[in-house]
Structure 1
Amino acid sequence: MVDVSQHELVPEHTLLGEAEVEEVLAEYDIERTDLPKLKRRDPAAPDGAEVGDVVKIVRDSRTTDRAVVYRLVID
């Protein structure tokens, strides 16, 4: 079986620690539930991702070199 998370077209997905999550939420003045969602069973989700975790996704971008987005893991 192919591990999709290792494919060259899948951007880097990283689980954030609780302190990092609090910094992100404070920076954007939002609640955890305001974040876009990522299903726990998504093949690109990091190993060990649990419901309620926040994932940082770093993508290549034509305009800004790289784009950072955050997703809340749901079931």
Structure 2
Amino acid sequence: MVDVSQHNLVPEHSVLDEEDVEEVLAEYDIDRTDLPKIERRDAALPEEAGVGDVVEIVRDSRTTDRAVVYRLVVE
């Protein structure tokens, strides 16, 4: 089977530790549940991502070189 998460068109996904999550939430003055959602079964997620985790996604961007977004993992 093909590992979709390793495909060159899939942006880098990484699970944040709680300290980093708190920094992100404070920076944007939001709650964890205010983050956009990503389903646990999404093939691009790392194996260690679980429901309730926050994932940082880093994409290439034509305007800013790289764009960083955050998603809350849901069932």
TM-score over 0.5 for the pair? yes
The interval holding the TM-score normalised by the smaller chain is: over 0.9
User: Aligned Cα RMSD in Å?
Assistant: 0.4
Cα distance between partner residues in 1 of 2:52 and 2:68: 19
Q: Which amino acid aligns with 1:19?
A: E
Stretches of structure 1 lacking an aligned partner (at least 5 in a row): none
The residue number in structure 1 matching 2:26 is 26
**1:48 Cα offset (Å):** 1.4
Q: Secondary structure at the match of 2:43?
A: coil
The residue number in structure 2 matching 1:71 is 71
Percent identity over the alignment is: 77
Stretches of structure 2 lacking an aligned partner (at least 5 in a row): none
Q: TM-score, normalised by structure 2?
A: 0.99
4+ runs deviating over 2 angstroms: none
